[in-house]
Chain A
Amino acid sequence: MSDINSQAVARYKNNFLREVEERVEDGHWVKMCMQCGVCAGSCPFGPHWEHSPQKLFMMIRAGKREEVLKTDSMWMCTSCYNCIARCPRKLPITHIMHGLANYAYRLGLSPKGQPNQVIARIFWNNAIKHGRVNELTFSLAMYFKDGIGQGIKNSLAMQGVGLGLMKAKRLNPMEILGGHTCKDKSGIAKMLTKAREIEDRRRGLA
């Protein structure tokens, strides 16, 4: 168990709802759910979720901490915002799903190798490096996430698309050398560090 996780368990004892309210983005909305199930019915990925948002909210209230934080359900969210648009109680469900996913990841409880989690991490690391996303290195990182052999296979399979993009001047192969960056890389890095510090302090994670 990670330190940060054992600290959280000690701090909130059995009150998982309070932990979510204090530490998860928009978590204070969870108690307002009235269990109508419109979010579950509206989700285009509904059948692929282990627990629908409705159930997740009920599980949080019932104190099922491990089950909620370890599930891959909230990682299935594609941010289509159907649930937010339809929730009669105006819960920001999409944001809560991302908040839960983020919190589970911070605690080290999120399912390892969950594809959405991998892509999110690669995207983030790529973006903060130069202050913008380098599409070529991001794509390649995705191809090679499962090892070199699989990476070569993926690249060969996609070479037609890549050449097409190059012909249409939508992809510059020289970007592999680092590509263009934003002006003040160290400023961006500082800004992000500060933002994270503030966020962690607010959520009691500092």
Chain B
Amino acid sequence: MADNKFAAYICSGCGIGDTLNVGAMEKIATKEGKMALVKSHAFLCNTEGVQMIRDDIANEGVTHVCIAACSRRAKTEAFNFPGIAMSRANLREGVIWVVAEGAAHDEVRQEMAEDYVRMGCAEVKKMIVPGGNVKESSSKRILVVGGGISGMTAALAAADAGYEVVIVEKAGQLGGFAKNLVKRVPFSGPYSEPQATGVEEMAAKISANPLVKVHLNSTVAETAGAPGRFKIKIAQLSDQVGGALAEELVGAIVQATGFTPYDVTKLTELGGGQANVVDQAGLEALAKSANGGAILRADGKEVKSVVFVQCAGQRGSGGNGSGQHLEYCSGHCCATSIKQAMYFKDANPEVDTVVMYSDLRVPGMGEDFYRSAQTKGVIFTKGKVNKVAGGGSCKVDFRDLILDEDTSVDADLVVLATGQVPNAGVNLDDWTAVVTLADGGDEAAKAKTVEMKRGSVLNLEYRQGPDMPQFKYGFADSHFICFPYETRRTGIYAAGPTRRPMDMLQAQEDATGAALKAIQAVENAEKGRAAHPRAWDLSFPKVRLEGCTQCKRCTVECPFGAIDEDEKRFPLFNEERCRRCGTCMGACPVRVISFENYSVDTVGSQVKAVNVPDQFEEKPRILLLACENDAYPALDMAGLQRLTYSAYVRAIPVRCLGSVNTIWITDALSAGYDGVMMMGCKKGDDYQCHFVKGSELASYRMSKIGDTLKQMGVEAERVITHEVAITDHERVAKLINDYAAQIQEIGLSPMKF
């Protein structure tokens, strides 16, 4: 460390010099910050200012730079010095733009700026430039599990971009569900006629592409490793148990395992299982054998009248059926029924086709398709079906929702529009429960794990279980609101109806997105960088194992399953699976986990660097730990909008609230801070946390901090957490002001010296 040279640069541009005493800040950087070199500049981000810093790095041997200017989110291209550790003190968005104008506020404004300079100097001293971990060998091949529309699209997209692809398909041919369709809903104008599925062309393209290797009649028997080095074992379905498994080395995985139609025989209240009551897949089979001619029933009779029952066993009690089936809308079924009604009308316009719906949902250009069906004479009846009787002559009893009466319609055939059930493998919650029993020596549970693994899609060798976590209703994981293809298994991306119900067009778009994500993952893995959302990040958690107490919190709480256990039960970090959120760092009770440029020390030293006035000055200090993904940008935005908030607050950006170690809070309170605010992303089912579980874990940990506060003799109100969205700039300013007022009310901290 002897070679480290610390320098601070204070910008006086953008009005900083007019509002603040730059000379005083220089003095603080030198005396308190112990910076070897302190300079100020009137326009630090211009060519001349940046050159000044570069010259110092080249000629003076500066290794660590604290830039006291604008927010760390601004001017990132100008302030980019490879190989140099850098901290940013936010004097513009964080001080002069948010502290009220006027001489009355000069003192607190200057104090705030000086504290940020102290914090920037303290932080940079604890930082180490991440070395990164460039791999000697890393696979850039992409495994696609599932050879349906989604899988084939992902494979072709990746191959077109020049990446090798391995497809594993359970069936004997490519095409998935779509290969059994006569036609598909139109993707292109004028959106009035069904179109050819295009499955054969896609399959032909795949077999002609030298970059794509296809394993048919196969499943994934084992997935071990991490992004850039997944080892896949592939089992042929015909293989005897213990037969030789094919092995493939891949860098990333797209899971495109599609869906299974809901079991129509479970819909007994809608005639499911009775003669001449079919689901949409059953109708496709009838239409396929008709080959464009009149559509015949299973008993050979020509269909002269058909009723389509929408939302069959879907949308809970809002759909048709007992409400005991699927809770959700599968999205594609309305357009599919319209398409299928056209099969009848196109073969014979005299066939009576009735679509019974409660809400016809035709997203995208489907409205044109709907209109086309109406032009062809398909009748749309808004009704809720009470009962369907199958047999030689079917009868649908329904309530007409427009005419408000119970009535019925006779038909030769009834088609039930059932929903999509995802093929997402093992539910990890069930898995964990069974494994816990099995670990306790339960023999039945041990047998159950073997059976459960047979239903697994990926057979991951992760301590967290054999598949990716499941989202709502058993769909494969997805960061639904912000990053739909992201899952909690780094380098493994879900695409198509395994992730959420969707139609073919959406599945293709989805698959293309997932393929791009997979490409990003293999490229990042090779360069030793993190995957989304910190894709530039070369840092990686370092752990001092000699201090580890094997409490397993990091392994359990890591949202991405990055941490396994080694044979001595110490945490075993899989760097390539890590997203660098720091949740492990926040979890560690003995604080042995840190990043090179983001550690318990880099934040802790900032907390301690703040000059806390004694009780007689009556100036409270509030520590604000703000998630850098949403809350910190919102604070910057508040500055841009010139919203004012209390000058008593000192904001520190954190990678995720999940990385907040409670030591920072107790340190702050012991040092005499009057309150600690935390701002993170939304948690719960519709979470917006970039790291999925970070804000939830933080909130859980904070719910347990009460005892600690009591022991310290500090009121519970001195620590609060808020959920904040990136658009909440007005709200963050208000939250800070309200909290500052609340602190005034409960009085200064008893911990002040």
Chain A residues proximal to chain B, CB less than 8 Å: 17, 31-32, 34-35, 54-55, 58-59, 61-62, 64, 89
Contacts and interface: CB of A to CB of B under 8 A. Distances in A.
B371 A61 contact: no
Given A62-B403, A89-B371, A31 B382 contact: no
Interface string B378-398: 011110000000000000000
Sorted nearest first, the 8 A-B pairs with minimum C-beta distance are A58-B402, A32-B374, A35-B382, A31-B374, A61-B379, A58-B403, A35-B402, A55-B402
B750 interface: no
A61 B381 CA distance: 8
A64 B407 CA distance: 12
28 contacts: A17-B379, A31-B374, A31-B375, A31-B377, A31-B379, A32-B371, A32-B374, A32-B375, A34-B360, A34-B370, A34-B374, A34-B380, A35-B380, A35-B402, A55-B402, A55-B403, A58-B381, A58-B400, A58-B402, A58-B403, A59-B403, A61-B379, A62-B381, A62-B400, A62-B403, A62-B407, A64-B403, A89-B371
Q: Which of B370, B379, B400, B402 is packed against the most chain A CB atoms within 10 Å?
A: B402
Interface in B351-376: 360, 370-371, 374-375
Contacts, number: 32
Nearest to B360: A34
Interface of B: 360, 370-371, 374-375, 377, 379-382, 400, 402-403, 407
A58 B407 contact: no
A86 to B, nearest CB: 17
A111 B382 CA distance: 29
Contacts of B402: 35, 54-55, 58
B382 A58 contact: yes
B360 to A, nearest CB: 7
Chain A's interface: helix, strand, loop or mixed, by majority? Answer: helix
Contacts of A55: 402-403
Nearest to A31: B374
Contacts of B371: 32, 89
Q: Which of A32, A55, A58, A64 is packed against the most chain B CB atoms within 10 Å?
A: A58
A32 B380 CA distance: 9
Given A31-B379, A59-B403, A62-B381, 7 more contacts: A31-B374, A31-B375, A31-B377, A35-B402, A54-B402, A58-B403, A64-B403
Nearest to B373: A31
Nearest to A17: B379
Contacts of A17: 379
B337 to A, nearest CB: 15
A35 B403 CA distance: 11
Contacts of A31: 374-375, 377, 379
A58 B371 CA distance: 16
A17 B378 CA distance: 12
Nearest to A21: B377
A64 B405 CA distance: 13
A34 B366 CA distance: 13
Contacts of B375: 31-32
A31 B378 CA distance: 8
Contacts of A54: 402
Contacts of A34: 360, 370, 374, 380
Nearest to B379: A61
A62 B382 CA distance: 11
A31 to B, nearest CB: 5
A78 B225 CA distance: 75
Nearest to B409: A62
A206 B371 CA distance: 33
Nearest to A37: B402
A18 to B, nearest CB: 9
Q: Which of B374, B375, B407 is packed against the most chain A CB atoms within 10 Å?
A: B374
B201 to A, nearest CB: 35
Nearest to A59: B403
Contacts of B400: 58, 62
Contacts of B377: 31
Contacts of A62: 381, 400, 403, 407
Contacts of A59: 403
Contacts of A89: 371
Contacts of B380: 34-35
A28 B196 CA distance: 30
Contacts of B370: 34
A179 B218 CA distance: 95
A61 to B, nearest CB: 5
B235 to A, nearest CB: 50
Contacts of B403: 55, 58-59, 62, 64
A59 B403 CA distance: 7
Nearest to B405: A62
Contacts of A64: 403
A46 to B, nearest CB: 15
Nearest to B404: A55
A31 B372 CA distance: 11
